[in-house]
Amino acid sequence: MEVWKDRISLNRGFSSYAFRWQFPRGNILPANPDYLEGNDDLIRLSFLNEPSVLHNLQTRYYDDQIYTKAGRILVAINPFNDVHFHENEFRTRKKLMYPLVHAIAESTFNEMMRGEENQSIILSGQSGAGKTKTASIVIEYLASLGGHNDMQHKLLQANLILEAFGNAKTFMNHNSSRFGKLIEIHFNSTGEICGAQIETLLLEKSRVAHLSKGERSYHIFYQLCSGAPSHLKEKFNLKSSREFDYLKQSGCLTIDAVDDAQKFHTLVEALDVVQISREDQENAFAMLSAILWLGNISFQIIDSENHVEVIADEAVASASKLLGCDVHDLMLLLSTHHIQAGNNSVTQKLSSEQAIGMRNTLAKSIYASLFDWLLERINMSLKIDQQKAWRSISIVDIYGFESFQRNSFEQFCINYANERLQQYFKRHIFKLEQEEYNREGIDWTRVDFNDNQECLNLFEQKPYGLLLLLDEESKSVHATDLTLVNKLKHHLSSNPCFKGEKDGFFSVLHYAGEVLYGKSGFLEKNIDSMHSAAIQLLSSCTYELPQLFASNLLKPSQMHMSPLLSLGATGFQKQSVGMKFKDQLFKLLQQLETTKPHFICCIKPNNKQLPNMFEKDLVLQQLRSSGVLEVVKISRSGYPTQMTHQQFARRYGLLRLDHETSQKPLSLSVAILDQFNIHPDTYQVGYTKLFFRSGQVATLEDARNRMLQGIVKVQKCIRGHLARCHFLELAKRITSVQSDQTKSARKEKQVSTKRLSTVPLTNMCMKQDNEREASNDRERAVILLQSVIRGWLARKRFDNMRNLNKSKFYIANGHSQPNKSIPELKEHSQAPASVVRELKRQVLKADALVKQKESENAVLQQQLKQLQIRLAEHDSRTRSMEETWQKQMTALQMNLAAAKNSLAGNDNVGRTRRPDASTLPHSYGSEELMPVGTHASEPCTPAKLTNCISDATPRREPNGGLNSVSHLVKELEQQKQVFNNDVRLLVEVKTGQSASTLNSYGELQKVKQNFEAWKKEFKVKLKNTKSTLKHANSETEKTHWSWWRKRSSRRS
């Protein structure tokens, strides 16, 4: 190495092939010591210059340390892979102050809880720098700090839904946010989340219909085509993403390492969490499917003037079905337009370019309306509890700075928003900080920084700012993109940030570099008008969502009547997109002004989106544009921690135990600083505030926390002692009260026991006396009543007898009975008054007695009903038994008749063949009952049976067998008569026909027993008679055989 006055030379090698590098001496800067290499805070570097800062960030990046502190901001480099820093890991490393994004989130949360001031976290950086991912980490960590409740889960899932509907793949980022958002998370006084509000900025609607090569539309379209269940695909006629023109036009349908089908299932779960019903989800998916089919609608030219009509194919049929409109109305909307000229209406055909523009405008409007509807439903689910809301933390994540080969109106608005946020950042970090130092009169070293005010003036200056000129040209009937560029050149050529280019292009020098904007589409995109016929078509749809979209487009606060320049027809034009975006941006910044901001600067390490690839030039350019070096310098020389004298004394006054209440805040604050040996070089005292360098307040905070912990311990001990004393005193009093209550209860129990012991005896005596008195009264009343009635009956009978005798006497003598006079009859008919009174009194007593008897009669009637039921049961049993007896008696009669026939056959044995032993009925000695008519066609009675036997043996003298049978017949007749008489008597007693007091049931059982006993005895007699008859038959047979032998011997 050779050092010269103006240059430095570096030699490598000593041969002819040696290399030599020469550098201007001013470009050679000192390097930091090795022990500071990879430091996690750029302020600690010994030498603050671009090469040292760049080298430090590169060293940490390759060690997977993607977060680095830079004073008041956090630098986050996108690793393009998953580098997990779990919150639990952060908590274990918390004492090391590890520079994670969790530290920024927790610091913001603690400042909100400590200072009672709303906070904000603002993320900045180019597209692809990792802002969306970093914002998700911040939201997730804040949700965990705010308590594990349902609101936390909803907030995380809402962020996922917005990512699916608002993010897309671009050249610079595979998950680029195509809208800006502000998420305001509200906390209650205890630090728990009590709701959230999400606001969005400028959704890139043109991405629905127009894509550059290698880019994708919004993620939701590809997720729906890949992951929708079969019934939804059939219902919406969904096909693969390569079948839809809106999706396949860019030639990019997938993203590496991303499963769109799985993402769709995760999205459906998130929609369930934010309480969007499955029916509403299907309606939203139907609108997405309708947009895809709208993109497939094609046109055919019908004349030489390039007029077109819609081809009636599957696309237009599916789109109209999904929207719920008439297919003919949709075809007319996309191929014709109406011009109102006075009272006349003229219909004209659209050209091919106009028809495609109408189709794309309809699709973009439906998607934008669907996005707004979805955001409204999410905010309803995250509704803030105003009664509990206390403070809030706002997270700002908008699109990063973009610069492509072709930059249009979307990039124009995005870069303007980044200019505004960059101005807000520098104003808070540099301008306000240094103005505060001057106002408070402290010593400090001024830090110069690059201000972008000139670029903002280019956009906003009146009357010839970019936005105003664009809005003015949009209202002109004859304006075109070329006339717009010419007008910009004419009015803005003097601004150093503007440069007019050839062929209708112009360039703007932004804080992040120069960007060339193309002329095409600026006016059309800025107008963003919706044709009235398209709104009418949506209003006529049968489905709810298209009707809702149409009503939102027709709100008076958002539109006014204006001619549609592109079509020359009457339509509804809302405020121009550029001016509306400017108003939304100013509203966002006004809300941020009420908060204390915290900044995270996201850096993109390379344009190829590859991990472990660090492009120094790209990173350095971002560090310069974001002002990181200036932030480090002002943080090193400045005083980031500021407190008023009163705030400091109120917060740390407890550390000074001997301070007086009347002591001034400033003197108390200085005394506290001296007590803790805070070096004067690390703080300065202003007119109204105290200014501290970074990290100096941490010592006081630690001492304050230790003091509070000690106070809590002392309070715990004192409160515990007081509580114990109070408990012991209370226990003593309770014991005394309980003993007194026990004594009084014991006395009351003794008294009540004595009182209750006499109650039964008293009640019994009173009851006996009452019953005895009542019985005596009843007896006297009955006797008196009987005597009166008997006397009256006796007198009446006596009078009747006397009158009868008189009548007989007069009749016998032939005289008629004289008539009594009426007074005499009245005299006899009237009874003495005393007797009447007595009779009335007796009647009253008799009525009381009758009522008592009636109650007793009711009880007896109940008993009678029960007895009648039992009697009915006995009747059924008696009838069954009578039938059984009748059958048995009939069977016995049949058996006797069979026996008699058998005997008659034996008498005629000489004239007939020898009878078989089987002629006697089989059931003769059986206990089974035989039905009547089984053995004869005509029933026989015992008397007839006897006659039959006598008729059958006219020539035979009676013998022993016949006498036995006759005796059995007589006995059967007698017993039958006896049993019939007994049963008939019992039936009369039971039915009340007889006045006998016999127990019918008992007597019936006796009759049954007698019958069973007689039946057994009669069966024995039958068996004996049977054996006698067999013996007699055998003797007769022997006599016949002997006679036959004798006769035969004579003949021989």
Instruction: Give the number of other Cβ atoms within 10 Å of residue 509's Cβ.
Output: 17
Q: With CA atoms as reference, report the closest residue to 87 among 73, 76, 72, 103.
A: 103
The answer to whether residues 53 and 636 touch, using CB atoms and an 8 Å cutoff, is no
Handedness of CA 510, 515, 516, 522 (dihedral sign): negative
* Residue 517: how many other CB atoms lie within 10 Å: 21
Q: Is 389 annotated as a binding residue?
A: no
Q: Is 542 annotated as ligand-binding? A: no
Q: Is 129 annotated as a binding residue?
A: yes
Half-sphere exposure of 404 (CA within 13 A, CB side): 19
Q: Evaluate whether 659 touches 668 at the Cβ level (below 8 Å).
A: yes
d(CA 757, CA 423): 100
Helix (H) or strand (E) holding 176: strand 176-177
Q: Which residues, listed in sequence order, are joined to residue 644 by a DSSP beta bridge?
A: 689
What's the length of the chain?
1052
Are 290 and 322 in contact, with CB atoms under 8 Å apart? yes
- Does 499 carry a binding-site annotation? no
Contacts of 294 (CB under 8 A, 6+ apart): 315, 319, 359, 362, 363, 366
127-158 as b/e, with b when 16 or more CB fall inside 10 Å?
bbbbbbbbbbbbbbbbbbbbeeeebbebbbbb
- Confirm whether residue 130 is marked as ligand binding: yes
Strands, E, within 256-343: which ranges? 299-301, 308-310, 336-341
Q: Could you tell me which of 361, 333, 365 has the C-alpha nearest to residue 349?
A: 333
> Residue 262, Cα to own-chain centre: how many angstroms?
24
Q: Is 131 annotated as a binding residue?
A: yes
- Do residues 378 and 366 touch, judged by C-beta distance below 8 A? no
Is residue 126 marked as binding?
yes
Could you tell me if residue 513 is left (phi over 0), alpha (psi between -120 and 50 degrees) or otherwise beta? left
SS3 of 512, please? coil
Q: From CA 927, how far away is CA 939, in angstroms rounded? A: 20
> 165: which 2 tokens?
């509907």
Residue 38 assigned to a binding site: no
Write the DSSP assignment of 87-131 as a string of letters: HHHHHHTGGGT---HHHHHHHHHHHHHHH---EEEEEE-BTTSSH
Q: Tell me the binding residues for ATP.
A: 125-132
Q: Tell me the binding residues.
A: 125-132
